[in-house]
Amino acid sequence: MMNDILTITDVEDFMRQLVCEGTNAHPDEDFNNYINIETELSAYTEEEAAIRNNLMSKCFDVCEAAGKDVYSVMQEIYLIETGLDKYIPLPSQV
């Protein structure tokens, strides 16, 4: 698990981590709301969700400071990591 988000690369790496965890993450969604669709149980403990919520908040701060759109940065990584970039244009190419 990452400890901090300080750069755009960190934002991208955080999204990659979430994809590896099997999370269809959205920057606005509280990690306490994610469930495992097979078990219908929470995907994260309260502590795990709090860590991820804190990191996501930092993603917003880092992207804003860099003049980047957090949604576009994270969507692009999600599309590439899941292979959906073959079907959906990347935000950087639109």
87 found inside a domain:
yes
Q: CA 1, CA 4: separation in Å to the nearest integer?
A: 9
14 found inside a domain:
yes
3 found inside a domain:
no
67 found inside a domain:
yes
Provide the sign of the torsion angle of the four alpha carbons 68, 70, 76, 80, taken in this order. Answer: positive
How many domains in the chain? 1
pLDDT of amino acid 46: 98
2 found inside a domain:
no
* Res. 57: pLDDT tops 90: yes
The predicted model gives 68-92 an average pLDDT of 95
Q: Kindly report the backbone phi and psi dihedral angles of residue 75, in degrees, each rounded to the nearest multiple of 5, phi listed first.
A: -65, -40
70 found inside a domain:
yes
1 found inside a domain:
no
Task: Tell me the residue range of the domain where 56 lies.
Answer: 8-93
For the purposes of burial, counting CB atoms within 10 Å of the CB of 77, is it exposed (0-12), middle (13-18) or buried (19 or more)?
buried
pLDDT of amino acid 49: 97
